[in-house]
Amino acid sequence: MYPQGVLVYLKHFLRRDPYCFRSSLQDTVLSSKSFFKKFRTMDSKKGPEESPDTTSAGADSTTTAVPMEETKPSGSTESSQTSSTEPGLLPGETVVREGKAAILFPSANEVFYNPVQEFNRDLTCAVITEFAREQLAQRGVRILIPGEKDRVVVRLSKEKNGNVDQETSEQPENEQQMEEEGDKKEFITASVGERCEQGLRVLEGLAASGLRSVRFALELPGLKSITANDYSAKAAALIARNAQHNNVSHILQASQRDASMVMYEARGRKERYDVIDLDPYGSPSPFLDAAVQAVSEGGLLCITCTDMAVMAGNSGETCYSKYGSVSIKSKYCHEMALRIILHSLDQRAAVYQRYIEPLLSVSVDFYIRVFVRVKTGQAVVKNSASMKYSAATGPPVGPSCEHCGQRHQLGGPIWAEPIHDITFVQKVLGAVSGNPTRFRTSKRIEGVLSMVTEELQDIPLYYVLDHLSSTVHCNTPSMLQFRSALLHAGYRVSLSHACKNAVKSDAPAEVLWDIIRCWVSDHHTLLKGWLIEISLFKRYCLLKLRQFNAYKNVS
Ligand SMILES: C[S@@+](CC[C@H](N)C(=O)[O-])C[C@H]1O[C@@H](n2cnc3c(N)ncnc32)[C@H](O)[C@@H]1O
């Protein structure tokens, strides 16, 4: 395990003699179970940023609700725009359909809408559903998800006449669990679209049109209330209209406030929200302090960051000022970004004797998204602090890498614990694959979550295979060959959902480079070998020159 503190990353461990290592690593085991598909599309739409207006009152959500239109099952729903003659439409407005929601939009793009983020919203619905299932089971509430077949569980009942009587049950697992625990109390059932008094209180701090909140109201069971807040007057008015248009005003209230103020006012134990969703333009950092205080005990924070340039190392100083952590421009930048936001959340929570438990952390398209539970506990907070700020251990390093001559870079601190709760992720994955028509992006959710469950949880960051080979100017071995070599050498290895061709492994860097050297010696012509020698010799000379200059400066 890496020390949870300043992360010293030794960029390359490359021996100068690429042929020095020959061993049975050349053998390969042909085994691979993961497939990887990365979808990277670019954020194209960004709504106009408006200045905060904290003076006006909440948007009116009390006007008569219009009847809810018939909604198609989401499996067949396309995220689509229709300029129709739908009731409630003002001139020039269009209707956007996503999931179960039909959202009115001014065509002038006055309020933010990004269709690319449908995956983000689908995934959030899937995660909150599992969170609700767990939380509400403790409150005696069982949730009903449309399209979800009761999971058939084989139970072994008590021995009857000496025989074990095997029976199958049509009860959902959590319900059985409640029974098994001897919990005889009556539990109630919560359905989608109904207000549930024992249900979750949800805040969407930066709601724009209210699309996400309307989807929560229409697709998530077990909700007591949803506050959809945006400081833009136009956005807040649109949220209220969309709540009416979708006939969910009994659950969803529009609010026009600064998101931080809404959260600071909800810091009292009784006012806290069970779920807080923050989906800002760029960085969520201005809202994190309020968010870690306003979420209930064991509550869920869902946070998006789209300031990837900052978090991926283009501006380490800005990253430090926003998140208290220096990012490094590197191949593993997407996972590092996830670990930076988790570190930042944990640090802010610790101020209030709280700590985080990451449930799921994903890098998708142009953004990252984390789902974390927040709990209170002085002992855990202290423990985490002592780990973080104890003196770093490990082999001391010089200013440059002894192998390739590149300067060492100092980054972090970052979150060094696991970034997912695999048991929780498996529940989300099971629910989505068992009910594939629930979301339009179900297949993609399944793909990403399957990758997540296969990642090595205790290995922070990764190497990128193309980068290893390009460093020594050789063709890239196949992932299968590379993974097999590592497995044969007795190390663990996995891919990562955050980057195509990523390799996570507990193998020391030297072993990885040795495998590359074997690959080079076996597959490359004399000429290529000669080029590699030259390039390595050049690096060696540079290193010596730097050392000489450093020596001159000291003496
Ligand atoms: C990226 S959009 C939100 C998109 C929305 N969550 C969705 O899924 O469609 C960001 C929104 O945050 C609002 N906003 C920015 N700063 C805010 C603040 N301090 N308080 C409340 N709303 C804010 C903007 O008006 C904008 O509508």
Task: Note the pTM of the prediction, 2 decimals.
Answer: 0.79
Residue 37 phi/psi, 5° resolution? -135, 125
| For residue 444, pLDDT beyond 90 | yes
pLDDT at 246 (0 to 100): 97
Could you tell me the distance, in angstroms and rounded to a whole number, from the CA of residue 311 to the centre of ligand 1? 20
Work out whether strand 188-190 and strand 367-376 pair parallel, antiparallel, or are unpaired: unpaired
The percent of residues above 90 in pLDDT, for the chain, comes to: 58
Cα(219)–Cα(238) distance, integer angstroms = 20
- Which helix or strand (DSSP H or E) is residue 219 part of? helix 211-219
Q: How do residues 304-333 score in pLDDT, each as one tens digit?
A: 999 999 999 999 999 999 999 999 999 999
Highest mean pLDDT among 179-188, 194-203, 396-405: 194-203
The percent of residues above 70 in pLDDT, for the chain, comes to: 71
Residue 403 phi/psi, 5° resolution? -95, -55
pLDDT at 91 (0 to 100): 81
Chain-centroid distance of CA 159 in Å reads: 45
pLDDT at 74 (0 to 100): 38
Cα(130)–Cα(283) distance, integer angstroms = 27
Work out whether strand 223-229 and strand 252-255 pair parallel, antiparallel, or are unpaired: parallel
| For residue 90, pLDDT beyond 90 | no
DSSP state, residue 313: I
Could you tell me the distance, in angstroms and rounded to a whole number, from the CA of residue 278 to the centre of ligand 1? 8
CB 259 near ligand 1, within 6 Å = yes
pLDDT at 162 (0 to 100): 41
CB 203 near ligand 1, within 6 Å = no
pLDDT at 89 (0 to 100): 81
CB 279 near ligand 1, within 6 Å = yes
Residue where the block lists tokens 């049509």: 170
Could you tell me the distance, in angstroms and rounded to a whole number, from the CA of residue 324 to the centre of ligand 1? 23
Write the CA distances from 312 to 117, 280, 406, 498, 508, integer angstroms: 20, 18, 19, 12, 24
pLDDT at 150 (0 to 100): 61
Beta bridge partners of 93: 106
Of 119-128, 361-370, 408-417, least confident by mean pLDDT is: 408-417
Q: Which of 474, 438, 462 is nearest to 36 (CA)?
A: 462
Q: What is the best residue among 111, 219, 230, 256 to mutate for testing ligand 1's pocket, by most ligand atoms within 8 Å of CB?
A: 230
pLDDT at 252 (0 to 100): 98
Q: Could you give the 3-state DSSP secondary structure of residue 5? A: coil
CB 434 near ligand 1, within 6 Å = no
Of 22-31, 35-44, 225-234, least confident by mean pLDDT is: 22-31
Residues 6+ apart with CB under 8 A from 478: none
Residue 271 pLDDT level (bands cut at 50, 70, 90): very high
Q: How do residues 344-390 score in pLDDT, each as one tens digit?
A: 999 999 999 999 999 999 999 999 999 999 999 988 887 765 544 45
Average confidence score pLDDT of the chain: 79
pLDDT at 513 (0 to 100): 86
Q: Which amino acid is at 360?
A: L
Region of 238 please: left (phi>0), alpha (psi -120 to 50) or beta. alpha
Ligand 1 atom closest to Cα of residue 111: 27
CB 324 near ligand 1, within 6 Å = no
Could you tell me the distance, in angstroms and rounded to a whole number, from the CA of residue 355 to the centre of ligand 1? 26
Could you tell me the distance, in angstroms and rounded to a whole number, from the CA of residue 249 to the centre of ligand 1? 20
pLDDT at 3 (0 to 100): 33
Could you tell me the distance, in angstroms and rounded to a whole number, from the CA of residue 197 to the centre of ligand 1? 28
User: Within 10 Å of residue 475's Cβ, how many Cβ atoms?
Assistant: 12
Q: Could you give the 3-state DSSP secondary structure of residue 359? A: strand
pLDDT at 535 (0 to 100): 67
Ligand 1 atom closest to Cα of residue 232: 25
What is the average pLDDT across 432-461? Answer: 97
Q: What is the best residue among 103, 206, 213, 288 to mutate for testing ligand 1's pocket, by most ligand atoms within 8 Å of CB?
A: 206
Could you tell me the distance, in angstroms and rounded to a whole number, from the CA of residue 234 to the centre of ligand 1? 12
Could you tell me the distance, in angstroms and rounded to a whole number, from the CA of residue 352 to the centre of ligand 1? 26
All domains of the chain, ordered by start, with CATH?
A: 1-66 (no CATH), 120-149+169-386+414-448 (3.40.50.150), 462-522 (3.30.56.70)
| For residue 341, pLDDT beyond 70 | yes
Could you tell me the distance, in angstroms and rounded to a whole number, from the CA of residue 230 to the centre of ligand 1? 6
| For residue 272, pLDDT beyond 70 | yes
Query: Is 493 in contact with 504 (CB distance < 8 Å)?
Result: yes
pLDDT at 545 (0 to 100): 75
Residue 108 pLDDT level (bands cut at 50, 70, 90): confident
Cα(19)–Cα(529) distance, integer angstroms = 9
| For residue 81, pLDDT beyond 60 | no
| For residue 470, pLDDT beyond 80 | yes
Q: Which of 221, 213, 215 is nearest to 253 (CA)?
A: 213
Residue with more model confidence, 423 or 61: 423
Ligand 1 atom closest to Cα of residue 46: 1
Q: Which amino acid is at 143?
A: I
| For residue 103, pLDDT beyond 70 | yes
Cα(355)–Cα(333) distance, integer angstroms = 24
| For residue 343, pLDDT beyond 60 | yes
pLDDT at 405 (0 to 100): 65
**What's the token pair of residue 219?**
């697709």
| For residue 205, pLDDT beyond 60 | yes
